[in-house]
Structure 1
Amino acid sequence: MPSLQTPLGSGFGAASTAREVLAGIDLSGKTAIVTGGYSGIGTETSRALRAAGARVIVPARDTQKAKAALDGMDVELAAMDLASPSSIDAFTAAFVASGEPLHILINSAGVMACPLTRDARGYELQFATNHLGHFQLAARLWPALVRAQGARVVSLSSLGHRYASVDFDDPNFERREYDRWIAYGQSKTANALFAVGLEARGKAHGVHAFSVHPGRIVTDLARHMSVEELQKIGAVDEHGQPVIDLARGMKSPQQGAATSVWAATSAQLNGFGGVYCEDCDIAALAPEEDTTAPGSATLASGVRPWAVDPVAAERLWVLSERMTDTGI
């Protein structure tokens, strides 16, 4: 069976912006939830979806910060912390109880390369926030996604998935030495595998799932990296300003949001999912022997086979159900 990881020739590319991708698409009557929708790529995602007519809900851990960031944008804010299971339950219970369908869920929030931190359950924070929080969110929103009769769930993975597969024996670094980039890579691989697992469960209900690499964009996500580190990989210039260089995958936030909204809305993806996308298209499979070192200044494209492996996706799904005490 040929791989679904075959580029379509979408007509868009690395330079495309979210607004360009949504040109001519009317999302009136559609509801979208965008985690992290008040920072960096998430802000531009929220802005573009709202401009296309969607009702946009942004759950936020810091509602005051979110309110300030989204000032002037006609979006709805709600309190939710991806590292707090009770907070996720409260937010999702209220939405599901409303009886409203959820047409688009974009899992954009995340943390990157932070020092070893554990949540209240003892789970490593990058895996807990980037993957488990979004897993629980989607599972609790399942009735609303099914109700939409054609929902899409888009999870932001990353080039960083190449740094590590999921260590199913020790996902929380309880027995192995903690490495902030390996932990980040594991969480980004998990984001991609989640799309594979959700697609397997959702396609019969009209719910399709995708993972995306938005590009290399300097946002608040890089707050745990020093200016020196960012300069070393050419992400910021001598003045500390973000560098835009499409040849190396360095994009603006508007360009970074494009693949997310393309995956969430494009008719080219009707009827299927479970694929990893980049530059507003389905990504090709990367060779097994291809390597990308954390912090590399070089551009790499494509998805590692381990991040779209259905066997690994099923194993991760079972593990995630156990760790969050939830499922579909």
Structure 2
Amino acid sequence: MPSKQVPIGSGNKATTTAEEAIGDADLRGKVAIVTGGYSGLGLETVRVLSNAGATLIVAGRDPDKARSRLAGLPRVEVRPLDLLDRASIDAFATDILGTFTRVHILVNNAGFMGAPLKRDARGYESHFSANHLGHFQLTARLWPALCRADGARVISVSSRGHRMAPVEFSDMQFEHREYDRLIAYAQSKTAQALFSVGLDARGEGLGIRAFSVHPGSIITDLSRHFSDEELRAYGISRNEPHRFPAGQSAGEGGDFKTVEQGAATQVWCATSDQLRGMGGVYCENGDIAEVTSPEDVFRGGVCPWAVDPELAERLWRISEELSGASLGS
């Protein structure tokens, strides 16, 4: 079977902004949920979708902070959600299903990177639990509303960091191997990409399409677990313009992206007619990415281990078992 991972010549590029990516899309009457939608990429995604007419539900662990940051945006509601807490996810989904008949866009945006070893109440490693399992459970619980949307899209924010590690099925929870916070993050981002492959296979016949995205390299709150000294080791400063070394380009000309540019790909995947009839693909720079070898972590494209349908099915079965969630349950 030919690979779906073939660029379509969208016309977007690394410097395209979210506002440019959404174009003149009219989202009036549409309901969108964005996890972690009150900072960084999530906030910009909410702003652009709201300005296009959508009703937004922003889900996060700090509702008061969210309301403060989202003040002034029309049709934006805030609901509490802790992706490390199974009961919190169920409560959020029950609230949404009791309020909205349909959900047209779900952006699984929240997450964290490079945290010290921490486990949730079930003993699951926190990157894998929050970045992947939490969103898996959330999507499964919201499935009835997605099915009723007559054309929903589910966007999961992955990362170029997936190139550092596949899902280690023999020890996903770091119970038998030494913990490495970047490998833990990378595994969770591979899992998010595989989740989109598995979800799209199940949703296509119902009009639900799924995409994973690499937003680009951006300095946001995601870097909060790294000290200034650690960032400087990568040639990065929180307070100065950022560039990759020659040949390791994040955006055009080697620059790190702005938040406005970083949110473009997830907004494009959520709204663009160019993707009609497509799904189950990993996207970057506002286009479908090519499959490339994992030899250089800074290189663009997606590794085979993040879009393999057999690995996606294996992860799906395990995720159902670990989360206790299945579509429509």
Q: TM-score, normalised by structure 1?
A: 0.95
CA distance in structure 2 between the partners assigned to 1:85 and 1:137 by the alignment = 9
Q: For residue 303 of structure 1, what is the aligned residue in structure 2?
A: 302
Q: Confirm or deny that 1:121 pairs with 2:122.
A: yes
CA distance in structure 2 between the partners assigned to 1:135 and 1:247 by the alignment = 36
CA distance in structure 2 between the partners assigned to 1:123 and 1:248 by the alignment = 37
Residue type at the aligned position of 1:44:
E
Residue type at the aligned position of 1:51:
N
Q: For residue 291 of structure 1, what is the aligned residue in structure 2?
A: 296
Q: Is the 8 A contact 1:108 1:156 kept in 2?
A: yes
Pairwise CA distance, 1:236: 2.3
Q: Is the 8 A contact 2:242 2:255 kept in 1?
A: no
Q: Confirm or deny that 1:327 pairs with 2:326.
A: yes
Q: For residue 100 of structure 1, what is the aligned residue in structure 2?
A: 101
Q: Which runs of 5+ in 1 are unaligned?
A: 293-298
Q: Is the 8 A contact 1:47 1:73 kept in 2?
A: yes
Q: Is the 8 A contact 1:215 1:249 kept in 2?
A: no
Q: Is the 8 A contact 1:103 1:145 kept in 2?
A: yes
CA distance in structure 2 between the partners assigned to 1:249 and 1:101 by the alignment = 39
Q: Provide, for residues 86-112 of structure 1, a one-character-per-residue CA deviation record: whole Å limited to 9, x for no partner.
A: 011011011112352000000110010
Q: Confirm or deny that 1:24 pairs with 2:30.
A: no
Q: Provide, for residues 8-58 of structure 1, a one-character-per-residue CA deviation record: whole Å limited to 9, x for no partner.
A: 110111100011111211111111000010010100000000011111110
> 3-state DSSP class of the match of 1:57?
strand
Residue type at the aligned position of 1:258:
A
CA distance in structure 1 between the partners assigned to 2:241 and 2:67 by the alignment = 24
Q: Which runs of 5+ in 2 are unaligned?
A: 244-250
CA distance in structure 1 between the partners assigned to 2:237 and 2:71 by the alignment = 27
Residue type at the aligned position of 1:159:
R
Q: For residue 6 of structure 1, what is the aligned residue in structure 2?
A: 6
> 3-state DSSP class of the match of 1:203?
helix
Pairwise CA distance, 1:304: 0.1
Pairwise CA distance, 1:231: 2.5
Q: Is the 8 A contact 1:155 1:212 kept in 2?
A: yes
Q: Provide, for residues 135-180 of structure 1, a one-character-per-residue CA deviation record: whole Å limited to 9, x for no partner.
A: 0000000000000010000000000000110011211101111000
Alpha-carbon spacing, 1:249–1:213, altered in 2? closer, same or farther (3 Å): farther
Residue type at the aligned position of 1:322:
E
CA distance in structure 2 between the partners assigned to 1:246 and 1:35 by the alignment = 28
Q: Confirm or deny that 1:312 pairs with 2:317.
A: no
Alpha-carbon spacing, 1:142–1:242, altered in 2? closer, same or farther (3 Å): farther
Q: For residue 248 of structure 2, what is the aligned residue in structure 1?
A: none
| 225, 238, 252: which one aligns with 1:246 | 252
Q: For residue 267 of structure 1, what is the aligned residue in structure 2?
A: 273
Residue type at the aligned position of 2:64:
Q
Residue type at the aligned position of 1:3:
S
CA distance in structure 2 between the partners assigned to 1:188 and 1:38 by the alignment = 21
Q: Confirm or deny that 1:87 pairs with 2:92.
A: no
Pairwise CA distance, 1:242: 4.9
CA distance in structure 2 between the partners assigned to 1:241 and 1:56 by the alignment = 33
Please say which of residues 72-81 and 246-255 is displaced more in the overlay: 246-255
Pairwise CA distance, 1:250: 1.1
CA distance in structure 1 between the partners assigned to 2:209 and 2:292 by the alignment = 23
Q: TM-score, normalised by structure 2?
A: 0.94
Residue type at the aligned position of 2:20:
E
CA distance in structure 2 between the partners assigned to 1:93 and 1:65 by the alignment = 23
Equivalences for residues 145-160 of structure 1 within 5 A: 145-160=146-161
> 3-state DSSP class of the match of 1:82?
coil
Q: For residue 172 of structure 2, what is the aligned residue in structure 1?
A: 171
Q: Confirm or deny that 1:59 pairs with 2:59.
A: yes
Residue type at the aligned position of 2:213:
V
Equivalences for residues 162-201 of structure 1 within 5 A: 162-201=163-202
> 3-state DSSP class of the match of 2:107?
strand
Residue type at the aligned position of 1:157:
S
CA distance in structure 2 between the partners assigned to 1:99 and 1:29 by the alignment = 11
CA distance in structure 2 between the partners assigned to 1:24 and 1:291 by the alignment = 37
